[in-house]
Structure 1
Amino acid sequence: MSDQFEKKPPVTTTDAGIPATSDEHSLSVGPNGPLLLQDHYVIQKMAQFNRERVPERVVHAKGSGAFGYFEVTADVTKYTSAAFLNTVGKRTPVLLRFSTVAGEQGSADTVRDPRGFAIKFYTEEGNYDLVGNNTPIFFVRDPSKFSDFIHSQKRMPGDDMRSSNAQWDFWSLSPETIHQVTFLMTDRGTPRTYRHMDGFGSHTFMWINAQSEKFWVKYHFKTEQGIENFTDAEAKAMTAEDPDFHRRDLREAIDKGDFPAWRLDMQIMPFADAANYRFNPFDLTKVWPHSDYPAITVGRLVLDRNPENFFAEIEQASFEPSNMVPGIGPSPDKMLLGRLFSYPDAHRYRIGTNYLQVPVNQPKSEVHSYNKDGSMRYRHNGNQPVYAPNSYSGPQANPNIIEPGWETDGALVRSAYTLHAEDDDFGQAGTLYRHVLSPEDRDHLVNNIVNHMSQGVEKFIQERAIKLWYQVDPDLGTRIAQGLGLAISLQVEEVK
């Protein structure tokens, strides 16, 4: 018999630490009498049970995660003054959460969907959150369209079912989505495991060095396990065999010491290059070609510890792009700027005003804040002032920290990306189809698109979508039209 059965168990208590007299029976007047309100232990158990759930994330609801470390492997101090990156060999504790995007808590892990790749670095200067995906691009480039995009991918209000028709309706009316949809419909839309996929910061960010020089950067976490994907058929089969396949795979790999790792490569663009680059470098629907800005390896991320309590450490984990340490800042990427507000606002709603006091979200550095009160607060200011400026030695901001801003013309405008020669929505998706995908990958792409568009998508939406695929590549458009049985023979110049 194992030690856990030989040990004398502790006495059950209420959540206030008071010993309980029974684990099985309620307090009543006689064996068949009414229950008594004074049985505070049973009342606490029932009331607590009713409140066990918090609202699930609107997106990225189903996920998993683990703890580990990030190690610097190259000197990047000429690019950034961030303290956690200032020494080769330096290690910073991290939490990495993976997720699907559109599904609910109980959805299957292996459905066709982008995968979240969110990292919390517990640095000596506070938490740095890098909230990305397993794709280097995204569907839309303006936060004004984000909620509409998500609505089109989630359940419809009338029948509470997801709709391929709504998905393709939105995509076919939003040409900027075509690059991400191309990626999604390849086999990388169904990764074999979380361990066998890359992760990306996706957005363009700013790095600032100690001399106040600024650089535009992109993060690429390249899996050391190698890229492995399911085919569409394999992914669908696994949804029935084991809906928690990715979650189980990650936990079991770490439990047996097979620690997954990723190499961090950075693309770095001189600050001045952005103004005259051939397309807008802050457009989230585009990648920077590596021929223009080759990636340099700067670090390594390793996961070596599973959570002990999934709800406390993964479900309550909060990630927010606005958490940027000195030496790192945002870019004019509109989607990134929208997320700076959206993410912390979502956490305040979902897990409470003081969500940053939950242990998994607490920074390792000291907190000196003028915030106070609110539900579930336990860190307090004591007799220290709760306002600034003050005359009582309260914390003071550091004006010497480099502000992560950029020069603008001061104009407030609502505009699309139309300032560069190659600001089209189709060129890079076409390059992906013609020059990156193998013949087998192209066959799978066509089959996946045809299968997906055959699931209740109305004909006029299919036709509109095919016009976009023709602009990506005429061969691709023709093959999809043939697969759908549509007699469309448009030339590229006729649909532009």
Structure 2
Amino acid sequence: MTREAHVTQGPLTTEAGAPVADNQNSETAGIGGPVLVQDQLLLEKLAHFNRERIPERVVHARGAGAYGTFTLTRDVSQWTRAKFLSEVGKETETFLRFSTVAGNLGAADAVRDPRGWALKFYTEEGNYDLVGNNTPVFFIRDAIKFPDFIHTQKRDPYTGSQEPDNVWDFWGLSPESTHQVTWLFGDRGIPASYRHMNGYGSHTFQWNNEAGEVFWVKYHFKTDQGIKNLTQDEANRLAGEDPDSHQRDLREAIERGDFPSWTVQVQIMPAADAANYRFNPFDLTKVWPHEDYPPIEIGKLELNRNPENIFAEVEQSIFSPAHFVPGIGPSPDKMLQGRLFAYGDAHRYRVGINADHLPVNRPHATEARTHARDGFLYDGRHKGAKNYEPNSFGGPHQTDRPLWVGSAVTGTTGDHAAPSHAEDDDFVQAGNLYRLMSEAEKGRLVENLAGFIAKVSRDDIAERAIENFRKADGDFGKRLEAAVQALRG
């Protein structure tokens, strides 16, 4: 498949549509004289060029995207009333943006970093955004720690570089990160391509059916291309030789008709199970073991169309976990609760208050009907319609039916830690993950971790980091300590 060029016949014009007489020479006060401020074409071109880049994302800046189709293969109406999940065989248009987390817009693709998985379903009830990662867990469980965490991954304010001291100081002092760090430094920490990795909703979400029954759900997207990863040496070489490797691979696969696909699964937990489940089911640093809630296959996701313009459709695409549809809603997950605000706020700053009006972001299978008006880049779509509700002029009105079912709450307000369940522990699942690995996988994990920990300048930071892995598994900690000592001399 090749891209279709948009060819416009006729004379070159200004942005306002006036024909351009000379696009080679700016207007001057005589031959060799100074340029005139009245040359509006020159000023228009320079001003536009200065503004061709919007602020890049603070996180997930480096990304690629594609359009596709989600097809439902199982009846799930017993769990949710969402219309796009209502009929076997039903197809819904999607847009999926992949990304790294820590790197800036010009960073390389082949790096050790989680991959963002931001999926937009253009449903007939509005857009539903599922914003997750290629890992089922995350480093922290409370959004109040997110800015601090990201600051450790970004450039130090003094050195201007990412500092191992900052990274391992934070992780060592935040033991809930041990599970995700074990994922990150294992074989799956550097996917070979976007096509060869899984995606996860990561958070726990609410599904509710027509009867108002509530279920907690986790999403899994299993790659049909098979899992493929890069070793650290392979990634180092590829990042230098082809920084755009993942973006190029995705685009070229779709161009040649080799459409990547994922099998979509969900884990379903009846709401009544949550209170006494052995782990806190809303803790983003934990998974639900499959023996407790086996994944159920519900559909297929295929990517089959490349964007025509990267800036318009990938850079200006926005995703928000707060974009729900009837039958789907949030959970008490404290990270998710923070993201419900943070993502929309980031887009309002970065792209603008009318970002939802852009073609890639606006609903494709229905129409947005709001009373919001004006603001930067408002396109006047509402014309002379009234901009308030209620009104007696036929304007849009409320449905009186919430998208999701409310949850009962008790107790006093305060800065509370998340509830602790019988088997909650910051290290048990990291240890389980380590023990699932083969000896070769364990060896690479220890080597990857040791290579990074050995770079810290203070012994206490290194020792604290190692101790967290020792608490996850004694053998894990012992091998890591020996490897770090060997590198540090």
TM-score normalised to the size of structure 2? 0.96
Q: Describe how 1:433-448 pairs up with structure 2 within 5 A.
A: 433-434=434-435, 436-448=436-448
- 1:375 has 2:358 as partner: no
Which residue pairs with 1:386 in the alignment? 387
- State how far apart, in whole Å, the 2-side matches of 1:361 and 1:74 are: 28
SS, match of residue 360 in structure 2: helix
Stretch deviating more after TM superposition (229-238 or 378-387): 378-387
Stretch deviating more after TM superposition (44-53 or 194-203): 44-53
Q: Describe how 1:200-219 pairs up with structure 2 within 5 A.
A: 200-219=200-219
Q: Describe how 1:224-263 pairs up with structure 2 within 5 A.
A: 224-263=224-263
SS, match of residue 162 in structure 2: coil
Q: Would you say how many aligned residue pairs link Structure 1 and Structure 2?
A: 482
Q: Describe how 1:435-474 pairs up with structure 2 within 5 A.
A: 436-474=436-474
AA aligned to 2:322 is S
AA aligned to 1:276 is N
- State how far apart, in whole Å, the 1-side matches of 2:88 and 2:302 are: 16
- State how far apart, in whole Å, the 1-side matches of 2:426 and 2:337 are: 21
Deviation for aligned residue 1:410: 5.0
Which residue pairs with 2:70 in the alignment? 70
Unaligned runs of 5+ in 2: none
Which residue pairs with 2:80 in the alignment? 80
Which residue pairs with 2:182 in the alignment? 182
> Quick one: structure 1 residues 8 and 208, their matched pair in 2 at CA, closer, same or farther if it must change by over 3 Å?
closer
- State how far apart, in whole Å, the 2-side matches of 1:337 and 1:325 are: 17
Native 8 Å contact 2:74 2:297 kept in 1: yes
Native 8 Å contact 1:329 1:405 kept in 2: no
AA aligned to 2:183 is F
- State how far apart, in whole Å, the 2-side matches of 1:417 and 1:213 are: 24
Deviation for aligned residue 1:417: 3.2
Native 8 Å contact 2:362 2:368 kept in 1: no
- 1:417 has 2:418 as partner: yes
Which residue pairs with 2:428 in the alignment? 427
SS, match of residue 252 in structure 2: helix
Native 8 Å contact 2:207 2:404 kept in 1: no
Deviation for aligned residue 1:402: 4.7
Which residue pairs with 1:264 in the alignment? 264
Q: Describe how 1:43-442 pairs up with structure 2 within 5 A.
A: 43-364=43-364, 365-409=366-410, 411-434=412-435, 436-442=436-442
AA aligned to 1:378 is D
AA aligned to 2:441 is D
- State how far apart, in whole Å, the 1-side matches of 2:8 and 2:467 are: 71
Q: What do residues 456-496 of structure 1 show as CA deviations (whole Å, max 9, x unaligned)?
A: 34211000111111101111111111111189xxxxxxxxx
AA aligned to 2:201 is G
AA aligned to 1:146 is F
TM-score normalised to the size of structure 1? 0.95
Give the share of equivalent positions with the same residue, in percent.
Answer: 55
Deviation for aligned residue 1:409: 1.6
SS, match of residue 217 in structure 2: strand
Native 8 Å contact 1:417 1:423 kept in 2: no
Structure 1 residue ranges (4+ consecutive) displaced by more than 4 angstroms after TM superposition: none
RMSD of the TM alignment (CA)?
1.6
SS, match of residue 272 in structure 1: helix
SS, match of residue 360 in structure 1: coil
Deviation for aligned residue 1:379: 3.9
Deviation for aligned residue 1:290: 0.2
